C-alpha cells in the first residue's frame, strides 16, 4: 500500500537488483522468459512476484528466418512507475483459436499499482490503474485508465472496466466513479512512491535463483 511520500523505504542491494533503466527487482521475484518481457523503467517488482514471459505468442509454422523477436512476440510489456506487490502473478492470457492454443501480449501502462497476492491475466491495463490486494483479474480483461479495483475483487474473463470507475465484489461490478482529479494525483503519487525506495549497499549481495534478463 502506498503511504506517506516523506518516508523512505530502505532496501538492501542484496535483496533488490537495479537495472540500467532504474527498475528495482527483488532477488526473490521469479522472472520466466525474460527476453519476452519489457519493463520501460522505474518499476518496482517486489518479493515473490512471478512474471511469466515464457507464456508468449509464437509464429507457428512461419519460416525460421522470420521468427525474429519483435514487439508482437513480447509476452509482457510494462510502462514506467509501476509497482507489482508481493506474491502476485502476472501472466499473459491464452486461448484456443481454430484448434491452436496461443498466448496474447499483456500490456500494462504507466503508473499501475498491483497489490499483494493478485493473479493478473488481463489483455490490457490502462494508465494509473489501482488493483487492490488479493484480486483476480480474469483472462482478456481490459481495464481503462485510472480505474480502481477494490481488494479481494474478482473480475471474470473478458471483463471490460471503463476508465475512472471503481469496482468491487465477486464477481466484481461497478460501485462508483472516481474524481476527475484522479489522474494528476495518481501520476504524482506513483512517481513519489518510486523515489521513496533507497538502495542501501550490502556487504555481500546475493541474487540466488534470480535471473533478470528482461529488456530495460
83: number of Cβ within 10 Å: 21
Q: Which residues on adjacent β-strands are paired with residue 131?
A: 114, 149
Q: Are 102 and 57 in contact (CB under 8 A)?
A: yes
Please tell me the predicted confidence (pLDDT) of residue 214: 61
Domains of the chain plus CATH, in order, are 9-57+73-200 (2.160.10.10)
Please tell me the predicted confidence (pLDDT) of residue 9: 85
Query: Which three cell numbers, joined as nine digits, stand for 50?
Result: 512471478
Peptide bond into 184 cis (omega under 30): no
Q: How many CA atoms lie within 13 A of 208 on its CB side?
A: 1
Please tell me the predicted confidence (pLDDT) of residue 193: 94
Distance between CA atoms of residues 161 and 149, nearest Å? 9
pTM value is 0.85
Please tell me the predicted confidence (pLDDT) of residue 207: 41
Please tell me the predicted confidence (pLDDT) of residue 12: 87
Please tell me the predicted confidence (pLDDT) of residue 204: 42
What DSSP assignment string belongs to 93-155?
A: -EEEETTEEEE--EEE-TT-EE-TT-EE--SEE-TT-EE-TT-EE-TT-EE-TT-EE-TT-EE
Please tell me the predicted confidence (pLDDT) of residue 8: 86
Distance between CA atoms of residues 154 and 77, nearest Å? 23
Flag residues of the chain having pLDDT under 70.
Answer: 1-6, 59-72, 202-216
Amino acid at each position: 500500500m502506498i503511504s506517506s511520500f516523506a518516508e523512505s523505504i530502505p532496501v538492501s542491494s542484496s535483496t533488490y537488483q537495479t537495472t540500467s533503466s532504474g527498475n528495482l527487482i527483488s532477488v526473490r521475484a521469479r522472472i520466466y522468459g525474460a527476453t519476452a518481457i519489457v519493463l520501460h523503467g522505474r518499476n518496482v517488482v517486489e518479493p515473490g512476484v512471478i512474471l511469466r514471459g515464457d507464456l508468449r505468442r509464437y509464429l507457428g509454422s512461419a519460416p525460421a528466418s522470420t521468427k525474429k523477436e519483435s514487439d508482437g512476440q513480447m509476452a509482457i510489456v510494462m510502462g514506467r512507475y509501476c509497482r507489482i506487490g508481493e506474491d502476485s502473478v502476472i501472466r499473459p492470457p491464452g486461448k484456443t483459436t481454430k484448434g491452436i492454443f496461443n498466448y496474447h501480449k499483456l500490456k500494462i501502462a504507466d503508473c499501475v499499482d498491483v497489490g499483494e497476492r493478485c493473479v493478473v491475466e488481463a489483455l490490457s491495463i490502462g494508465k494509473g490503474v489501482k488493483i487492490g490486494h488479493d484480486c483476480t483479474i480474469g483472462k482478456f480483461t481490459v481495464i481503462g485508465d485510472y480505474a480502481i479495483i477494490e481488494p479481494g475483487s474478482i473480475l471474470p474473463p473478458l471483463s471490460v472496466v471503463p476508465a475512472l470507475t471503481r469496482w468491487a465484489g465477486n464477481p466484481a461490478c461497478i460501485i462508483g466513479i472516481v474524481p476527475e482529479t484522479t489522474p494528476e494525483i495518481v501520476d504524482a503519487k506513483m512517481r513519489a512512491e518510486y523515489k521513496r525506495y533507497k538502495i542501501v549497499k550490502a556487504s555481500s549481495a546475493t541474487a540466488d535463483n534470480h535471473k533478470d534478463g528482461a529488456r530495460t
